Structure 1
Amino acid sequence: MPRPDAAYSVRMNDLPGAIRTTCPYCGVGCGVQMQGGRGAQALGDITHPANHGRLCVKGSALGETLGLSSRLLSPMLRERRDAAMRSAGWNAALDRIADAFARSIAEHGPDSVALYVSGQLLTEDYYVANKLMKGYIGSGNIDTNSRLCMSSAVAGHKRAFGEDVVPGCYEDFECADLIVLVGSNTAWCHPVLYQRIAAEKERRPELYVVVIDPRRTASCDIADLHLPLAPGSDVALFNGLLLWLAAHEATDSAYIAAHTRGFEAALAVARQSAGDFETLARTCGLGRDKLQSFYERFAATEKTVTLFSQGVNQSSQGTDKVNAIINCHLATGRIGKPGMGPFSMTGQPNAMGGREVGGLANTLAAHMEFARTEDRARVQRFWNSPAIASKPGLKAVDLFEAVHEGRIKALWIMATNPVVSLPDANRVREALRRCEFVAVSDVVRDTDTAALADVLLPAQAWGEKDGTVTNSERCISRQRAFVPAAGEAQPDWWALSQVAARLGHGAAFAYRSAHEIFDEHARLSAFENGFAEGGAGRVFNLRGLVGLDAVAYDALEPVRWPVLARGAQSGRLFGDGRFAHEDGRAVFIATAAQTPAHAPGEDYPLVLNTGRIRDQWHTMTRTGLAPTLGAHLPEPYVDLHPADALASGAREHELARVSSRWGSLVARVRFSGELRRGQVFVPIHWNDQFASDARVGALVNPVVDPISGEPEFKHTPVRVEDFRVDWHGVVYSREPLQAQQLAWWTRIQTLDALRYEIAGRGAVKDPQAWARQLFGVGDPRADWIEYRDDSGGIYHAAWLREGRLQACVYLAPRAMLPQRQWLADLFTRPRLSLRERQSLLAAAPLGAGGNEGPLVCSCFRVGRNTIVKAVQEKGLQSPREITACLRAGGNCGSCVPELRALIAECAASAAEA
């Protein structure tokens, strides 16, 4: 990899004595150095091949997430569903789980119990969970939240290659001449990989970047071509590309003949559904010139990498979308060679590790398959297990439907929050209410899912856990503990092993360390595996890591599988044209373009798309604790085209209700300019701990891909309506507030206080009494200052204790309230001056400055107004110049697209003046 540019030097310094571990966020799998216990500073690991020292803003803020205020610190039990949780010892909690599972298995069979796990688990945790369920309980009913993000890629890989293998590696993005980003806002969702691409684009401007996405996202900042295709038209687009390649003699006929099968059948199906070029362009919602430009560029560029992610996978036709992309690479022989290949980016840090050990309900361990009798026998023989699951288990959506129907009686959920993250989430909540027994292992005490548990187990958190993870380029990295476990927290593999022992399987689960589990995992991967020698077997093979002792395991450096010899490093795969199907050939999959399962109509005229934002992660149980991460986009929002907002009665910056057949939410309206008419975007992160009504999963269409079982998160028909309130407010408090009586609220963590954005219905007749009750201020002698304008419906108040600001509240008829960062900064002062007290009542800083505007650069806390002023006054013309002046953009680079947009905005304003 080329040397990272100087903008990253702040994150390139080595920390003597630091613990090297791996970031717990996205599938890039960045190496991190941590130094300093629970106040640890996070720096990028310059030795790690995934990031070479870079970290995104989430990784940089990891030290802010290590506090214990929200932690689950001891096991807890609920005697009855209507009873409160009580603390209990580990023995009592584990006995309760084992008794519930044993009773259900005895009365209803092994398929009456299930595990629902997570890409947040380490590979060792995953391995033990899968072994227990499939090899000893004898059911396939273990599935993972990775089903929600990358199971379509798994299914597509297996159909095309014969095994779930990502052929390429990150270096391919720096070797390529054409990079196609499909359904991936890489700039926000995989920012360090995006910065590697951006750095290469700056070094080599001829590198051509195409972004294929219905939205014009931050990733378009470096794009030479943006194709805003119609939602759901990916198969048509890539079928059209396959036909174009064939018609213009741009296929590699020798490669097709020697290394593949099914090409003519795939072409025939593509022809049946494509129509003429004009029809195809209309189907994709693209102009003819743009579509032709993409096809010509792909045909002419040998070194092409196509990166795809959730925008492809999360679809009722996700597997076909994956195979339509792979077909184009097989047709041109562009696979397994430098700078070329299809590349699936996983969403979670260990989604790949879960795939290795059989964490999906439809796979066995070590890339073996239920469909092959010899694989089932091989796994059972290796484990010496009393039973082996004979068929695949229930995939996530079907699993929770079985819970709802009462077919699954006992469920253990680990490291995930399905009441927020699954589609039709209200039905999932009801399913857990109905379930006879629910256990939840988590690091956080209060989640939407934990509220429904009979048993809560305190799991070790990132920073406390020891084991391995595998990133999107098949790179296995060590995750090392650098702080002691909080309270009574234990590793997930330990809790699973203890339950296994109580079920009578103690000898097979007598693990004393993660190292022992990893060694067994490596031995199973190599067991009767002759692929490396040209025989039958699997590409996934850790033969070279078998027999590591504890010291060697602890010192394990990042390594890409397959690992066939100690110290060896695998690179790209399939470059020799040999694939994992029995005949050694890759398979073209015929993919017929289909319309989405549910189309918009009169009642629900818009199409909802969901996804991540830059500074948050999944359901915010970690990132929601970090003040740095709460400031960029602090509220749940609904992004609309202005014309759709006008038709629905929704107004920018006001609240709106978004509804589907399955549920609804309330969020702030935003016009980003990223969307065409008919489309809506809502982020996935908010839940009942951070907002009154913002679980987007409650709206999402529960239809799934028939092959992968992955839900359709990108195409739900919805309507948007104005959500009327009588007043708006902002509240800061050092203590959590009871906000349930409000019509709407959302909570944001700042450095020294909690910020609440609120709204209500009906007049607040006595605002002082209302505010005092909200803050719990009963003492009439309390230091309470206020400003009140009853005619204008305005109220400002602050409560101080010995001169230190404890809480403040601002109410107004409209969302025209004080600058938030200025208020947050006042809570960092040990004592407020008279001028600062006056400014509190005025709701604005007195004198010059003080209003930096909405946050743009989270790393260095630089606001929009500060950047615009510098651009205008100093004539700054590039993000690099802004970085040199203000530092903004100089760490993770995630805000660079916004910096570039502000420069363009200032230039346009100057031209109009």
Structure 2
Amino acid sequence: METRDSVAQVWGERTPFAGEGQWPVRVDQRIVDEPDHWVQSACVLCSNGCGCDIGVKGGRIVGVRGRAQDEVNRGRLGPKGLHGWEANHSADRLTQPLVRRDGQLQPASWDEAMDLIVRNAQEVRRQYSAGAIGFYTSGQLFLEEYYTLGIIGKAGLGTPHMDGNTRLCTATAAAALKETFGSDGQPGSYRDIDATDCILMVGHNMSSTDTVLWMRVLDRRRHANPPRLIVIDPRRTATAQEADLHLAPRIGTNVAVLNGLLRLLIEGQHVQRDFVAQHTIGFDHLKAVVSTYTPERVQEISGVPAADLQRAAQMIAASSMLLSTCLQGVYQSNQATAAAVQVNNINLLLGRIGRPGCGILQMNGQPTAQNTREAGADGDLPAFRNWDNIEHIEALARLWNVDPAIIPHWTPPTHALQIFRYCETGSIRMLWAQATNPAVTLPNLPRIRNILRRPELFVVVQDAFLTETAQLADVVLPAAIWGEKTGTFTNVDRTVHISHKAVEPPGQARPDFDIFVDFAQRMGFKDKDGAPLVKWNTPEQAFEAWKECTRGRPCDYTGLSYAKLTGGSGIPWPCNDEHPEGDHYPYRSLVFPTDPDYCETYGHDLITGGLISPQAYRAMNPAGRAILKPAEYMAPFEEPDDAYPFFLTTGRLVYHFHTRTKTGRSRALAEAAPDDFVQISHEDAQRLGIADGDWIRLTSRRGAVEARAQLGDIGPGELFVPFHFGYWDDPGRARAANELTVYEWDPVSKQPHFKYAAVRLDKIDAPATPQPQGMNGSGQGAAARPASATGVVQVMSRLKDAAVEGFKEGLNKAKTPRAHVADYIGLLQESERRLVRAFDQVRETHPDEPDIAPICRIFASWSNTSANALDPFVQRYGERRKGEPERLDKALLLQRSQGGFDMLRDLHDLWLLVSESTISLDVLEQAARSLHDKEFQAAVEAMRDRNRRQRTWLRTRIRQGAPQVLVVPA
């Protein structure tokens, strides 16, 4: 019994409207039996957070209906929400703990499983320190569970290694908001759709990823006064087909397109000058950077026709409002944070923020991703505190009544792929994952499987199903899921919902909250006074503790309660004495949380990810103003070539969520999207003799997948594969998209690059590549790596001496007096050329460190640019002394091996070599000023900027790696 067929009619009938608060009610419902009662909840199968009620009969879930009074959805539900609950009753639910014995997972009691976990945690901490323990959580738990997990990791164990699969979907949203506004938290509201006259969607296929939000957009656009819609997406999705203008850039070129739009808005005199002057900083720098991105240049880089780019700028400028959104087409692609920040910049240049119809939605990929970030269960500190601000650490320590020293703040937080890298090297010895499936969701799956199979790594998996990851675990804990526990969660536009327990979990399955509290008690975590560290036993008690943690912070929950959230609509934060019913427009005052004493971060270099120091941030004096940050376009690090001529991107389908652990167990959803496919252009298909439905094998440098062809709606040379399909339903062939993807990440957000990989395409008669073997956890560990490689030397300690000796000998041999500006130009040029070689060697020495190769490529190119930029001044001021380069050579090019300690030493040496250039630049700057050579001064200044960014990144990376390398035996 259902009000509509949501599989056939994904978005349902239209209910046109215009104006805030005017969206008509339409209650969607699907039940298989008449409920005897309904229980309030909200949907957890996308990030929209739709209010719903769970229908219960005889202790079982029998259906769902949308909540008419909830302003997020006004009763509507999408196909996943209407069908996904069937997974609760799946016959393959985990109902008792499993422990690996003799290579096999076997049933165990809760005491046996928990005692084994506690013994391992205690022993690992005793032998290797808390830095050898890592947590990898989800975007599927409740706020109360995240907060409990956060205090266990950060104040109980004191490990910096805590992140979640939200790193894969929403880390860039958080990073972009922090970089621009000083703190996480959406500047926009879903209400902006109701009023706006222009919507810009960048890399956001809303029709598939947020079906109810897309209903809201469609209903606005069916009114007599529709908002214009501009979509930037390489694929011609249903979202793009609805748009008034679709820009289809080449994969990985978002920054070039957005820079082009910014330039057109600036050159067209559309900037709100008073707003920019009063409420932002950085405009002049932004203007300078985007000035070269003419429509013609953007067309050359991205393939977007110059006329279409100009039309997009005209449509935006002609509107009076603007709602901008973006999602994985930005977050998982090249230059993710840099691109997302440029989206923020567009709204800020036009002054379109803080009022209805003018907002930014840096969308989330998961329903409770916002809570992961808020509660500190990932790399962030609770309530958007700044890990680099000692006063924030001390305030948190007072709240928890612990020594500030235990809270990790001595290094940047460890992100997900770095956690797995530490597992690969043996530095992390225990990994505990909850409600996530990295054996399908992480990039370069052959590598991930080898990591999880390492015999030295003790793996705990907490889930409702025996996922591909759970099959590789040492202990599996059966978890309750949505509908079987109580808690709260927060959607994209900061609306907090409560989900009440409707039914009992099956068998011995327990809520994640109960598991965490049990672990904390068994570990004996105490505060400074000897009281239990975790002072709550129920979710509501945890929520009350969380409220106090948020007091005075941007995500202020102090005006909320379980009682207040029950019975009506969800309520947005901030909700406090000032805003007792919540605030949909947190920046209506146009005062942003950028104050140095309040902000969540001091920011990063958008290209390198290097940290901005507290001192440098204070010198910027943001004083409550938003920060306009530009970024030059950088090409993706892996691009098509003769061996791998196609560019692959991945993404979602409307009927499935993540690895289908729930949606794949709904018959209707599974039948609607039963298998993988490869989307290919008609042009490429015709050229290769491929028909719709033919079998195709895709091969990258990492692995292969096989799937049927689906023709159309994508550009030539580009391919698309949905990422939902793994191996739990035994397809018999390799089909997970992440067999192909690259193990690299964005330098700021650390979000993996799922959206581009170079692949080869072959038409095949039938599948022949089997699905990965050894999924029972009996693998033999990671593949062998080279025992040694050439590294950068102990250069730099001897470089200065070599240079000094060279100067002395040169002076002694001089026949006539001469100016020595040429000698320092020569010294700097040789330093930069040696830096090129040094960065190349570090890249070659450490091929398994995913961030080293791309950043070393950038830095080598920068040093090469700097060296070449000095050629005109060599001609102008003369050649350097002979002999000095040979002396410098003697200080270079000893060997090092691959490994954590040697990598740290190589980075240390690189920093010293870059610092050698810094001193030469200081010397030459004074000479240039004395010579009144403005061209020389400008060249030195450009080199100094590159040099500074190199040093900043190197220092950041050294600080991040040092505690693990020096303290934890490996």
* Same fold, TM-score > 0.5, yes or no: yes
Residue matched to 1:635:
675
Q: How does 1:261-276 map to 2 (within 5 A)?
A: 261-272=281-292, 274=293, 276=294
Q: What SS is found at the alignment partner of 1:21? A: strand
Q: What SS is found at the alignment partner of 2:672? A: coil
Maintained 8 Å contact 1:403/1:435: no
Task: Find the aligned partners of 1:512 and 1:466 in 2 and give their Cα distance.
Answer: 13
Maintained 8 Å contact 2:565/2:571: no
Q: How does 1:791-810 map to 2 (within 5 A)?
A: none
Q: How does 1:67-78 map to 2 (within 5 A)?
A: 67-78=89-100
Residue matched to 1:570:
583
Q: Which amino acid aligns with 2:765?
A: R
Task: Find the aligned partners of 1:38 and 1:667 in 2 and give their Cα distance.
Answer: 37
| 1:289 aligns with one of 282, 291, 307 | 307
Maintained 8 Å contact 1:211/1:226: yes
Task: Find the aligned partners of 1:330 and 1:375 in 2 and give their Cα distance.
Answer: 28
Maintained 8 Å contact 2:494/2:572: yes
Maintained 8 Å contact 2:253/2:334: no
Q: 1:93 to 1:16 in 2, by over 3 A?
A: closer
Task: Find the aligned partners of 2:312 and 2:278 in 1 and give their Cα distance.
Answer: 28
Residue matched to 2:554:
539
Q: Which amino acid aligns with 1:416?
A: T
Task: Find the aligned partners of 2:28 and 2:546 in 1 and give their Cα distance.
Answer: 38
The reply on whether 1:317 has 2:335 as its aligned counterpart is: yes
- Deviation by residue 1:367-403 (Cα, 9 ceiling, x = unmatched): 0011111111111111112421123332111111111
Q: Which amino acid aligns with 1:365?
A: P
The reply on whether 1:722 has 2:763 as its aligned counterpart is: yes
Q: Which amino acid aligns with 1:161?
A: F
Q: Which amino acid aligns with 2:402?
A: S
Residue matched to 2:801:
none
| 1:581 aligns with one of 554, 573, 594 | 594
Residue matched to 1:478:
498
How far does residue 646 in structure 1 lie from its aligned partner after superposition?
4.5
Q: 1:641 to 1:178 in 2, by over 3 A?
A: same
Task: Find the aligned partners of 2:313 and 2:703 in 1 and give their Cα distance.
Answer: 40
How far does residue 568 in structure 1 lie from its aligned partner after superposition?
2.1
How far does residue 207 in structure 1 lie from its aligned partner after superposition?
1.7
The reply on whether 1:374 has 2:399 as its aligned counterpart is: no
| 1:619 aligns with one of 659, 666, 678 | 659
Alpha carbon RMSD of aligned pairs, Å? 2.2
- Deviation by residue 1:586-616 (Cα, 9 ceiling, x = unmatched): 1001211111111110111111110111111
Q: Which amino acid aligns with 2:743?
A: P
Task: Find the aligned partners of 1:632 and 1:71 in 2 and give their Cα distance.
Answer: 23
Q: 1:206 to 1:63 in 2, by over 3 A?
A: closer
Maintained 8 Å contact 1:15/1:33: no
Q: 1:4 to 1:577 in 2, by over 3 A?
A: closer
- Which stretch shows the higher mean deviation, 263-272 or 456-465? 263-272
- Deviation by residue 1:403-443 (Cα, 9 ceiling, x = unmatched): 11111000000000001000112111110111534444444
- Which stretch shows the higher mean deviation, 244-253 or 57-66? 57-66
Task: Find the aligned partners of 2:316 and 2:38 in 1 and give their Cα distance.
Answer: 45
Residue matched to 2:808:
none
How far does residue 180 in structure 1 lie from its aligned partner after superposition?
1.1
Q: How does 1:841-880 map to 2 (within 5 A)?
A: none
How far does residue 316 in structure 1 lie from its aligned partner after superposition?
3.7
Task: Find the aligned partners of 1:33 and 1:4 in 2 and give their Cα distance.
Answer: 20
How far does residue 297 in structure 1 lie from its aligned partner after superposition?
0.8
Q: What SS is found at the alignment partner of 2:246? A: strand
Task: Find the aligned partners of 2:332 and 2:706 in 1 and give their Cα distance.
Answer: 23
Q: 1:678 to 1:414 in 2, by over 3 A?
A: same
Q: 1:399 to 1:649 in 2, by over 3 A?
A: farther
Q: Which runs of 5+ in 1 are unaligned?
A: 530-537, 727-741, 747-913
Residue matched to 1:524:
549
How far does residue 564 in structure 1 lie from its aligned partner after superposition?
1.2
How far does residue 220 in structure 1 lie from its aligned partner after superposition?
2.4
Which one has a larger percent helix, Structure 1 or Structure 2?
Answer: 2
The reply on whether 1:709 has 2:734 as its aligned counterpart is: no
Q: Which runs of 5+ in 2 are unaligned?
A: 1-19, 527-531, 596-622, 773-970
Residue matched to 2:893:
none
How far does residue 345 in structure 1 lie from its aligned partner after superposition?
1.4
Q: What SS is found at the alignment partner of 2:545? A: helix
Maintained 8 Å contact 2:49/2:490: yes
Maintained 8 Å contact 2:478/2:509: yes
How far does residue 66 in structure 1 lie from its aligned partner after superposition?
2.1
Q: What SS is found at the alignment partner of 1:203? A: coil
Q: How does 1:342-353 map to 2 (within 5 A)?
A: 342-353=360-371
Residue matched to 1:214:
234
Q: How does 1:357-396 map to 2 (within 5 A)?
A: 357-361=375-379, 363-386=380-403, 387-390=406-409, 391-396=411-416
How far does residue 328 in structure 1 lie from its aligned partner after superposition?
1.1
The reply on whether 1:185 has 2:189 as its aligned counterpart is: no
The reply on whether 1:301 has 2:319 as its aligned counterpart is: yes
Q: Which amino acid aligns with 2:308?
A: K
Task: Find the aligned partners of 2:684 and 2:195 in 1 and give their Cα distance.
Answer: 42
| 2:72 aligns with one of 37, 46, 50 | 50
Residue matched to 1:511:
536
| 2:190 aligns with one of 170, 183, 194 | 170
Q: 1:243 to 1:105 in 2, by over 3 A?
A: same
Residue matched to 2:721:
682
How far does residue 495 in structure 1 lie from its aligned partner after superposition?
1.2
Q: 1:126 to 1:39 in 2, by over 3 A?
A: closer
Residue matched to 1:237:
257
Residue matched to 1:880:
none
The reply on whether 1:258 has 2:299 as its aligned counterpart is: no
Maintained 8 Å contact 2:29/2:64: no
- Deviation by residue 1:317-360 (Cα, 9 ceiling, x = unmatched): 10000111111111111111110122111110100111111222
The reply on whether 1:145 has 2:165 as its aligned counterpart is: yes
The reply on whether 1:329 has 2:347 as its aligned counterpart is: yes
Residue matched to 2:644:
604
Maintained 8 Å contact 2:685/2:691: yes
Maintained 8 Å contact 2:204/2:329: yes
Maintained 8 Å contact 2:452/2:459: no
Q: How does 1:383-422 map to 2 (within 5 A)?
A: 383-386=400-403, 387-390=406-409, 391-422=411-442
Maintained 8 Å contact 2:27/2:65: no
How far does residue 687 in structure 1 lie from its aligned partner after superposition?
0.7
Q: Which amino acid aligns with 2:99?
A: L
| 2:518 aligns with one of 498, 509, 520 | 498
How far does residue 649 in structure 1 lie from its aligned partner after superposition?
5.5
Maintained 8 Å contact 2:428/2:457: no
How far does residue 642 in structure 1 lie from its aligned partner after superposition?
2.9
Question: How many pairs were matched up?
Answer: 712
